[in-house]
Amino acid sequence: MTMKVRIALAGLGFGAEFIPIYQAHPDAELVALCQRNEHSLTTIADRFQVPRRFTSYDELVADPDIDAVHINTPIPDHAAHTIAALEAGKHVACTVPMATTLDELRAIVAAAKASGRNYMMMETVVYSREYLHVRSLVDDGTIGRIQFLRGWHFQEMAGWPGYWEGLPPMHYATHAVSPVLALAGALAESVVCHGSGRISPELTAHYGSPFAVESALIALRNSNVSAEIARSLFETAHEYVEGFTVFGDRATFEWEQTQDAGHVLHVGEKPRRVEVPDFAHLLPAEVARFTTRGVYDEDNEHLSFVQGSGHGGSHPHLAHEFVRSIVEGRPAAIDAEVAANWTAVGICAHESAMRGGERVRIPDFAGELAAGKQAEAVI
């Protein structure tokens, strides 16, 4: 009999959505929760009857009875929390983005390699029902040869926690980047990005980023396909939408442009609306129900979940992949090297925009790590 993976959740805003999923998963045991606010921690832990409670993240990762940590803490803490857990011998799942600088990405890739533990970035879009449907259309030949990919994410972030204020649009770009790179089956090689429009001086002052919108063209490694992404965060009037279009020589799938407008499949020159099925059948029966409902509902809402329309039913798929990768002793689907590449696209894109559209190469994180090891061996 396989031992269950003992999991702790750190960060209980959006992170609370995963509590019942891990509790129901046949290969997992949710053993601990971590939240700095003790009142909030106690309330949530009591509600779900989770035995161990931590207000200190350092104490959490030091607990030898925890196998894996799922991190949902604020973005500025992702790198430090990930590295601390890996160095403590824990498997790590972390919400997006992986980190905020290239050096942090390098440090996480190195820590994951050195620890021998799994790292997975919990990117929702590539486990949404829309992505899974289009993946099936690519795999069965409906799309044909992919010719071009486009991703976008427009969201007004006014009123979110303070560190969001004035954030460069591309520093939170993985929802737009991930589906196009995943569908192409390639990593990003370089990026050219332009900034457009201006946000208020008050917002600009936080990060020195003046742009309302950033749009980028990505060159892919060993591929004749390119991809385009666009991202906005502030002072750009648009309904929340994150989505992608995949252009093929046989058919093109276009994500709906506004909520409930309907997705479109262009076969040749003839467009038709398509219904995207749910993919709960890919999951263990115990967690399949969570593709359509969870902790957050009309009486108990979380802004991330509400604006993202349930994140396409992705949460149980993410949790399942993380748990099964540990049980099966294999890398997670979005491992440290893939996550670093997807996250670096946004970091490098913003750098390109600040340089007036210069091409910026995406680091080869695995290659750099290997080269560093070889240099150490020579020394």
Q: What is the 3-state secondary structure (H, E, C) of 218-243?
A: EEECCCCCEEEEEEECCCCCCCCEEE
Whether residue 180 is contained in a domain is answered as yes
57 pLDDT exceeds 80? yes
Residues 202, 203, 209, 215, CA torsion sign: negative
What is the model's pLDDT at position 53? 97
Whether residue 368 is contained in a domain is answered as no
167 pLDDT exceeds 90? yes
308 pLDDT exceeds 70? no
Lowest mean pLDDT among 53-62, 152-161, 201-210: 152-161
What is the model's pLDDT at position 309? 43
Whether residue 153 is contained in a domain is answered as yes
Residues in the chain: 379
Whether residue 267 is contained in a domain is answered as yes
Tell me the average pLDDT across 278-301: 79
How does residue 337 score in pLDDT terms, banded at 50, 70 and 90?
Answer: very high
Output 7 or 2, whichever has higher pLDDT: 7
Tell me the average pLDDT across 184-202: 98
Whether residue 49 is contained in a domain is answered as no
Query: Are the CB atoms for 234 and 203 separated by under 8 Å?
Result: yes
190 pLDDT exceeds 70? yes
How far is Cα 67 from Cα 58, in angstroms, rounded to an integer? 15
Output 308 or 106, whichever has higher pLDDT: 106
**Percent of the residues in the chain that have a pLDDT greater than 90, as a whole number:** 86
**Total number of domains in the chain:** 1
- DSSP codes joined into one string, 187-214: -EEEEEEEEES---HHHHHHHT---SEE
Whether residue 275 is contained in a domain is answered as yes
104 pLDDT exceeds 60? yes
Domain range for 146 is 125-281+344-361
How far is Cα 194 from Cα 208, in angstroms, rounded to an integer? 15
What is the model's pLDDT at position 310? 65
The CATH number for 132's domain is 3.30.360.10
Whether residue 378 is contained in a domain is answered as no
Closest residue by Cα to residue 178 from 137, 142, 120, 131: 131
Mean pLDDT score across all residues of the chain? 93
What is the model's pLDDT at position 311? 83
376 pLDDT exceeds 60? no
**Percent of the residues in the chain that have a pLDDT greater than 70, as a whole number:** 93
Output 305 or 211, whichever has higher pLDDT: 211
Lowest mean pLDDT among 66-75, 154-163, 177-186: 154-163
How does residue 177 score in pLDDT terms, banded at 50, 70 and 90?
Answer: very high
Whether residue 311 is contained in a domain is answered as no
How far is Cα 72 from Cα 366, in angstroms, rounded to an integer? 25
How does residue 258 score in pLDDT terms, banded at 50, 70 and 90?
Answer: confident
What is the model's pLDDT at position 186? 97
